[in-house]
C-alpha cells in the first residue's frame, strides 16, 4: 500500500506541475541564497534542483552570499569583524577575506552545477554556468562618522550582457563583489545584488532561500510584512520598496523546497507582494472615465477603434481592469461571439508608464482564465500593430473566413486587422 501511495503522490505532483512547467518556460528567475545555505548539508540537493529547473526552460540568475565564509577567514587570522547598523565595514584585510571566500564559493558552485548538468537525468543541451564582472560599484562612503572603506553599493549592473547569456541557455552566477572603472573592488550585500538584478532584468520571480524556518503566513502584502521584525523579511521589503512586484521566501531546509514552490499551486514558502495596491477585477461604471483616458491616445493614433462613453457604458460588463492605488493602469474586454467555443479579446491596453514586470502577460493570463471558466476553447484577437506580441504568447494567424459570423460581418477591411487565435486548454 505504501508503494501505491507513493506512486499516487508522484502522479499528483506531476499533474499539478505540468501547467507550471509550461508557464515558466522561458521566464527569468533570480534565486538568492545566503552563505549559510551554501554551508548546509542540503546544498548539493539544492544544486540538483536548480539544474532541473534550468533544464525545464527557466532562465536562472543565481546570487550567493558569503557572510559566514568571510567571518571564518577573519577568525582564522584574528582579524576583528566590524559591523555597523547591520552592514559590514570592509577594511583591506576583510576585502581580501571576501575575495578569497567569493573565489572559493564561485568555484564550488560552478563545479557542482557543471557536474550535475552533465548527468543523464538532466536534459542539459546547451546549458552552462557563467560568472564574471557584471557589476560596477562605488564606495558606500562615510555614514555616522564610520568609513565603510571597501564596502560598496551598486552603480550599474550589465543586464544586457547577462541577458545575452540567459538567451544562450546559460545559468548566470552573480557574486557579491563589484568593481569600479578604476579597478577597485568592493564588497557588496548579496541581497542588494539580487534586488538590483531582478529590477534590471524585469524578472518574473525573485526568490530568497533562507537558512532558517520561514514562520510567517503564506501570503502577505507589503504593509502586512512590515509588521514582522524577522531579519529574513527585510530583503523582501527592500525589494518591494524598490519596485519588484513579488518576492518568495523559502526555507532551504525543506527537501525540494524550490521545486514545490515553483511547480505547485500552494508552494511551501511565503510570498510577499504589493497586491494590495495593484489588483485585477471586473470594471464598473465608476471606471468609465479612467478607461476612456487610458484608451484615448491609442484611438487618436488609430491603434484602437473609437468608443464613445455611451458605447462603453453599454458594454462595461465585458471590461476588466488593473488598478494600482485605485488608478486604472490597464484594461481589456472579453466578448462572446456567435461561436460558443470562441471569445474575443479586445481593447487590450496597458498604460505606457506601467508596461514593465509583465503586466500585459498577467492581464492576458487573467482574461484567458475567464474565457476558460466560460468553457471556451479559443481566444480571438484582432490587431493592427501588436501581432508579434500576441504571437510570442501562443496566438497563431488565422483568416477572415475563420471568424465567427458576427465578427466576420463587422470586420473592417480598411483597418485590415490581423486575425489571431489562441487555443485554450480546458
Strand partners, 249: 208, 270
Cα separations in angstroms, 388 against 66, 348, 383, 392, 419? 43, 14, 10, 6, 12
Rounded CA-CA distance 47/52 in Å is: 9
Q: Would the pLDDT of 196 be above 60?
A: yes
In 203-308, where does DSSP find H-type helix? 222-225, 234-241, 257-263, 288-300
214 in Cβ contact with 248 (< 8 Å): no
Question: Which sequence spans correspond to the domains of the chain?
Answer: 2-273, 278-423
**Which residue in this structure is represented by grid cell 478607461?**
291
Rounded CA-CA distance 154/146 in Å is: 19
Helix, strand or coil, per DSSP, at residue 333: strand
Helix, strand or coil, per DSSP, at residue 258: helix
Strand extents, DSSP E, 107-196: 128-131, 135-139, 142-143, 146-147, 152-157, 170-174, 177-179, 185-187
155: CB partners within 8 A, 6+ apart: 136, 137, 138, 178
Burial label for 201, CB within 10 Å (0-12, 13-18, 19+), is: buried
pLDDT band at 20 (very low <50, low <70, confident <90, very high): confident
- Range with the poorest average pLDDT among 15-29, 100-114, 220-234, 375-389: 220-234
61 in Cβ contact with 30 (< 8 Å): yes
- Range with the poorest average pLDDT among 147-161, 176-190, 322-336, 347-361: 347-361
Indicate the average pLDDT of the chain.
90
pLDDT band at 105 (very low <50, low <70, confident <90, very high): very high
Fold matches, 2-273 and 278-423: no
Cell matching residue 356: 514593465
pLDDT digits (tens, 9 = 90+) for 212-251: 887 888 878 887 888 887 788 889 999 988 888 889 999 9
Q: Would you tell me which CATH number, out of the four given (3.90.25.10, 3.20.20.70, 3.40.630.30, 3.10.20.740), belongs to the domain 278-423? A: 3.40.630.30
Q: Would the pLDDT of 3 be above 50?
A: no
Cα separations in angstroms, 406 against 401, 402, 403, 409, 411? 12, 11, 8, 5, 9
Q: How high is the pLDDT of residue 1? A: 38
Rounded CA-CA distance 98/30 in Å is: 22
Rounded CA-CA distance 248/263 in Å is: 13
Rounded CA-CA distance 207/222 in Å is: 16
pTM over 0.75: no
Cα separations in angstroms, 255 against 48, 147, 373? 11, 42, 35
User: For a pLDDT cut of 90, what percent of the chain falls above it?
Assistant: 71
Nearest to 30 by CA among 224, 188, 239, 177: 239
Sign of CA dihedral 33, 39, 42, 44: positive
Rounded CA-CA distance 192/402 in Å is: 51
Fold of 2-273: Carbamate kinase (3.40.1160)
Task: Kindly state the average pLDDT of the residues 390-403.
Answer: 94
How far does CA 267 lie from the centroid of its chain? 16
Q: How high is the pLDDT of residue 122? A: 67
pLDDT digits (tens, 9 = 90+) for 247-280: 999 999 999 999 999 998 778 999 888 765 578 8
86: CB partners within 8 A, 6+ apart: none
Amino acid at each position: 500500500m505504501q508503494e501505491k501511495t507513493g506512486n499516487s503522490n508522484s502522479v499528483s505532483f506531476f499533474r499539478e506541475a505540468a501547467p507550471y512547467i509550461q508557464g515558466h518556460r522561458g521566464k527569468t528567475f533570480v534565486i538568492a541564497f545566503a552563505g549559510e545555505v551554501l554551508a548546509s548539508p542540503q546544498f548539493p540537493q539544492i544544486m540538483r534542483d536548480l539544474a532541473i529547473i534550468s533544464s525545464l526552460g527557466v532562465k536562472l540568475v543565481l546570487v550567493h552570499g558569503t557572510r559566514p565564509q568571510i567571518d571564518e577567514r577573519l577568525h582564522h587570522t584574528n582579524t576583528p569583524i566590524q559591523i555597523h547598523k547591520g552592514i559590514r565595514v570592509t577594511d583591506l584585510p576583510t576585502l581580501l577575506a571576501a575575495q578569497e571566500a567569493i573565489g572559493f564559493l564561485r568555484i564550488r558552485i560552478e563545479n557542482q552545477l557543471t557536474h550535475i548538468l552533465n548527468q543523464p537525468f538532466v536534459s542539459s543541451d546547451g546549458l552552462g554556468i557563467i560568472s564574471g564582472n557584471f557589476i560596477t560599484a562605488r564606495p558606500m562612503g562615510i555614514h555616522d562618522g564610520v568609513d565603510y572603506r571597501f564596502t560598496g553599493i551598486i552603480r550599474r549592473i550589465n543586464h544586457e550582457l547577462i541577458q545575452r547569456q540567459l538567451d544562450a541557455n546559460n545559468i548566470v552566477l552573480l557574486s557579491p563583489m563589484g568593481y569600479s572603472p578604476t579597478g577597485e573592488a568592493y564588497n557588496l550585500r548579496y541581497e542588494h545584488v539580487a534586488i538590483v538584478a531582478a529590477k534590471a532584468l524585469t524578472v518574473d520571480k525573485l526568490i530568497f532561500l533562507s537558512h532558517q524556518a520561514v514562520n510567517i503566513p503564506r501570503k502577505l502584502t507589503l504593509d502586512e510584512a512590515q509588521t514582522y521584525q524577522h531579519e529574513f523579511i527585510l530583503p523582501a521589503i527592500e525589494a518591494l520598496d524598490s519596485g519588484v512586484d513579488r518576492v518568495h521566501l523559502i526555507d532551504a531546509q525543506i527537501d525540494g523546497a524550490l521545486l514545490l514552490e515553483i511547480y505547485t499551486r500552494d508552494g511551501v514558502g511565503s510570498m510577499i507582494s504589493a497586491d494590495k495596491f495593484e489588483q485585477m477585477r471586473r470594471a464598473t461604471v465608476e471606471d468609465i472615465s479612467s478607461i476612456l483616458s487610458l484608451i484615448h491616445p491609442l484611438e487618436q493614433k488609430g491603434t484602437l477603434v473609437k468608443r464613445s462613453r455611451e458605447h462603453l457604458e453599454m458594454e462595461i460588463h465585458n471590461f476588466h481592469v488593473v488598478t494600482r492605488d485605485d488608478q486604472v493602469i490597464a484594461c481589456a474586454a472579453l466578448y462572446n461571439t456567435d461561436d460558443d467555443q470562441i471569445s474575443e479579446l479586445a481593447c487590450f491596453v496597458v498604460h505606457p508608464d506601467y508596461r514593465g514586470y509583465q503586466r500585459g502577460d498577467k492581464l492576458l493570463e487573467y482574461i484567458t482564465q475567464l474565457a476558460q471558466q466560460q468553457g471556451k476553447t479559443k481566444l480571438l484577437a484582432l490587431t493592427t500593430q501588436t501581432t508579434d506580441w500576441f504571437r510570442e504568447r501562443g496566438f497563431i494567424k488565422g483568416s477572415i473566413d475563420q471568424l465567427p459570423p458576427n465578427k466576420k460581418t463587422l470586420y473592417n477591411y480598411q483597418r485590415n486587422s490581423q486575425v489571431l487565435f489562441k487555443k485554450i486548454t480546458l
